[in-house]
């Protein structure tokens, strides 16, 4: 085994969809739908459909590979293997080109894979919603540029992630529609080999498989569809990397506000027994980068010579299954993280105090404006006070009490340094996000 998907990453449920055996079964499902369409329009006897439908399950991957080794064509090897099993073999693949089968089967595989990914997305949305609800009042410091900014709540942070995942979930429906397209139009898309009944045959095939037809097509369906799929997966993976990166940062020893679940017997380092590393989040970040990188060949594959060349084929055998399997995997891993995340509310409180009141400069500036001071004047005054506090290593309130222009306007300076009084509408924003989730996605119970 060489590929890490074989032994390290990916869930069996989705990997099965892209196994050699499954690919063959998807191809044969399309071939059978084509045979049924021919029978419905009178091109093939009904007995042929009945017999081949029974015999097709006897086709073995080993035999297909034997034939392919000899003739050097995978789809034609399957056609020959089916034909060997029936006296009606001459009707198999009638009028079709290879990519009528491959692209139509791709749509079926991708759709089934996206259905599995959808379930993982639902679970993650639920986990984020639960965290948002549970911690809507859990105050922590907000950070911009890696520096302490203003107080927020951990629930608001989770609500931001939740809203992002909700958008991804809504986009998924469009992506499914975009990708649920096949073709049965022959070598250059004209349907010439199907004769006068081309449109009817193609419609019957697609109806049987619950797909739409690519009209018009070349020898393949438009690769802009695959670009949209891979772009969606890259976008989703980027959000997951963003969430994981935040957890990794908040788990840093000097911050220690949250932590991945760490098992009782889990080992963090081969040499440092004390280590408790955010390894799941780090894995999510690394694999998200692989998913994004698969966009490059997807774009390149859209550039075809005339009605098509074969450059896309080899690349797509990697990028489509790998991207789908890895996206499902990092969603699964993200669910592990956010379903068992340890939140240290006490450390969040302590970290707020590290700035010695500097995080309240905006709050005090606004209060001074309310008392009649100009905004720019108040901003400059608070800047000076903040720099003075830093220089003298004092708490900001001690510097403020030395400034007559501040003491005259604000009676109770100490009251301005309560973070609970300066989280704006954080709690309400969480509630709005949860309510919107309930309206848009009522199937997800929170």
Residues 271-322: pLDDT tens digits? Answer: 777 778 899 999 999 999 999 999 999 999 999 999 999 999 999 999 999 9
Tokens of residue 250, six digits: 């908040």
5 belongs to a structural domain: no
1 belongs to a structural domain: no
For position 411, what pLDDT does the model report? Answer: 85
For position 79, what pLDDT does the model report? Answer: 98
CA R_g for the chain: 30
286 belongs to a structural domain: yes
Are 324 and 360 members of one domain? no
For position 272, what pLDDT does the model report? Answer: 77
Q: How many domains does the chain have?
A: 3
User: Which CATH number do you get for residue 18?
Assistant: 1.10.275.10
Are 285 and 235 members of one domain? yes
Q: Distance between CA 278 and CA 373 in Å, rounded? A: 48
Are 232 and 325 members of one domain? yes
Are 174 and 158 members of one domain? yes
What does the pLDDT look like over 142-172, one tens digit per residue? 999 999 999 999 999 999 999 999 999 999 9
For position 434, what pLDDT does the model report? Answer: 96
Choose, from 269, 293, 314, 340, the residue flagged as catalytic: 269
User: Which CATH number do you get for residue 105?
Assistant: 1.20.200.10
Are 241 and 127 members of one domain? yes
Choose, from 145, 253, 270, 274, the residue flagged as catalytic: 145
Would you call 306 a catalytic residue per the annotation? Answer: no
For position 439, what pLDDT does the model report? Answer: 86
272 SS3 class: coil
Q: Please state whether the peptide bond connecting residue 91 to the residue before it is cis, i.e. omega within 30 degrees of 0.
A: no
User: Which of 244-248, 328-332, 441-445 is predicted least confidently?
Assistant: 441-445
Are 402 and 282 members of one domain? no
Q: Distance between CA 379 and CA 381 in Å, rounded? A: 5
269 belongs to a structural domain: no
For position 265, what pLDDT does the model report? Answer: 75
225 belongs to a structural domain: yes
Sign of the CA dihedral running 183, 186, 191, 197? negative
* Domain edge (last residue) among 29, 61, 94: 94
pLDDT exceeding 90 applies to what percent of the chain? 91
Are 342 and 431 members of one domain? no
By residue range, what is the domain housing residue 230? Answer: 98-138+148-263+274-354
* Domain edge (last residue) among 354, 385, 406: 354
For position 269, what pLDDT does the model report? Answer: 66
Q: Give bridge partners of residue 258 from the DSSP assignment.
A: 343
Are 250 and 344 members of one domain? yes
* pLDDT over 70 (residue 196): yes
Are 229 and 293 members of one domain? yes
* Domain edge (last residue) among 326, 354, 382: 354
Give the confidence band of 267 by pLDDT, cuts at 50, 70, 90: confident
Are 298 and 326 members of one domain? yes
pTM of this prediction exceeds 0.85: yes
What does the pLDDT look like over 179-193, one tens digit per residue? 999 999 999 999 999
What does the pLDDT look like over 338-368, one tens digit per residue? 999 999 999 999 999 999 999 999 999 999 9
C-alpha pair distances (Å), 300 with each of 176, 295, 315: 22, 9, 10
pLDDT exceeding 70 applies to what percent of the chain? 99
Long-range contacts of 371-374 (CB under 8 A, 24+ apart): 371/409, 371/410, 372/409, 373/405, 373/409
* pLDDT over 90 (residue 440): no
Would you call 269 a catalytic residue per the annotation? Answer: yes
State the average pLDDT for the chain: 95
* pLDDT over 90 (residue 209): yes
110 belongs to a structural domain: yes
Short-list 346, 342, 347, CA closest to 256: 347
Give the confidence band of 122 by pLDDT, cuts at 50, 70, 90: very high
28 belongs to a structural domain: yes
Are 244 and 105 members of one domain? yes
Are 235 and 255 members of one domain? yes
What does the pLDDT look like over 36-75, one tens digit per residue? 999 999 999 999 999 999 999 999 999 999 999 999 999 9
User: Which CATH number do you get for residue 374?
Assistant: 1.10.40.30
């Amino acid at each position: 085994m060489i590929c890490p998907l074989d032994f390290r990453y990916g869930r069996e449920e989705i990997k099965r969809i892209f196994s050699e055996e499954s690919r063959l079964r998807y191809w044969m499902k399309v071939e059978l739908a084509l045979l049924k369409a021919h029978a419905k329009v009178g091109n093939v006897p009904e007995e042929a459909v009945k017999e081949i439908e029974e015999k097709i399950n006897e086709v073995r991957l080993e035999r297909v590979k034997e034939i392919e080794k000899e003739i050097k064509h995978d789809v034609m090897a399957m056609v020959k293997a089916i034909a060997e099993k029936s006296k009606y073999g001459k009707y198999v693949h009638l009028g079709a080109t290879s990519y009528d089968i491959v692209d139509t089967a791709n749509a079926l595989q991708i759709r089934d894979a996206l259905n599995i990914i959808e379930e993982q997305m639902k679970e993650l949305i639920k986990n984020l919603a639960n965290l948002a609800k549970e911690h809507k009042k859990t105050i922590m410091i907000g950070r911009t540029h890696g520096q302490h900014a203003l107080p927020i709540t951990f629930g608001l942070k989770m609500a931001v992630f939740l809203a992002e995942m909700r958008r991804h979930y809504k986009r998924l429906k469009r992506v499914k529609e975009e990708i649920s397209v096949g073709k049965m139009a022959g070598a250059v898309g004209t349907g010439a080999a199907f004769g006068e009944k081309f449109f009817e045959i193609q419609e019957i095939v697609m109806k049987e498989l619950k797909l739409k037809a690519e009209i018009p097509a070349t020898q393949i369906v438009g690769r802009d569809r695959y670009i949209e799929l891979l772009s969606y997966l890259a976008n989703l993976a980027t959000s997951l990397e963003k969430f994981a990166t935040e957890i990794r940062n908040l788990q840093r020893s000097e911050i220690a506000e949250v932590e991945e679940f760490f098992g009782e017997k889990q080992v963090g380092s081969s040499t440092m027994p004390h280590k408790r590393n955010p390894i799941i989040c780090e894995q999510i970040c690394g694999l998200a980068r692989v998913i994004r990188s698969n966009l490059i060949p997807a774009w390149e594959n859209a550039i075809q010579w005339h009605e098509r060349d074969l450059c896309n084929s080899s690349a797509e055998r990697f990028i489509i299954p790998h991207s789908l399997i890895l996206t499902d995997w990092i969603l699964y891993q993200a669910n592990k993280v956010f379903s068992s995340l340890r939140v240290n509310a006490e450390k969040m409180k302590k970290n707020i105090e590290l700035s010695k009141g500097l995080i309240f400069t905006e709050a005090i500036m606004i209060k001074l404006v309310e008392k009649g001071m100009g905004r720019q004047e108040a901003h400059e005054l608070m800047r000076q006070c903040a720099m003075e506090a830093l220089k003298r290593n004092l708490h900001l309130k001690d510097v403020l009490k030395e400034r007559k222009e501040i003491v005259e306007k604000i009676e109770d300076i100490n009251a301005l340094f309560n973070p609970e009084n300066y989280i704006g509408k954080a709690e309400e924003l969480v509630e709005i996000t949860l309510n919107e989730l309930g309206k848009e996605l009522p199937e997800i119970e929170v």
